[in-house]
Amino acid sequence: MATIREVRINAAQGIVVQGWRSTEDGLFLRARGQPEEVRLVCVCGRSHWIVREQFTVGSASFILTCHTCGTRGSFLMEGVTLPAP
């Protein structure tokens, strides 16, 4: 089994999210410039997040809140479009 690279939220500033998926093993991000997905880990050590995508004119944001301790984070999203109604 391949080793999963983990990135702590406090070291993830500047990541541009190109895609994401949530599983029982945590939140996985596809980030610009990274050859493989990374698992995002909170400062409390958990990897389970409440996720929200926010779309505004000309940009999209990926907003997170740790399900365990409430730590928050946000990232720019690239290559995503507003879902059809």
Provide the pairing of β-strand 38-41 with 5-8.
parallel
Q: What is the pLDDT of residues 22-32, one digit of tens each?
A: 999 999 999 99
Q: Find the farthest-apart pair of alpha carbons in the chain and give their distance in angstroms, rounded.
A: 42
pLDDT-based confidence at 61, cuts 50/70/90?
Answer: very high
Q: Which residue has the tokens 């996720």?
A: 51
- Segment 20-46 shows an average pLDDT of 93
User: Which H/E stretch holds residue 76?
Assistant: strand 72-77
Residue pair 75/15 in contact (Cβ under 8 Å)? The answer is yes
The residue ranges of every structural domain in the chain are 5-77
The model carries a pTM of 0.85
Three-state secondary-structure class, residue 39: strand
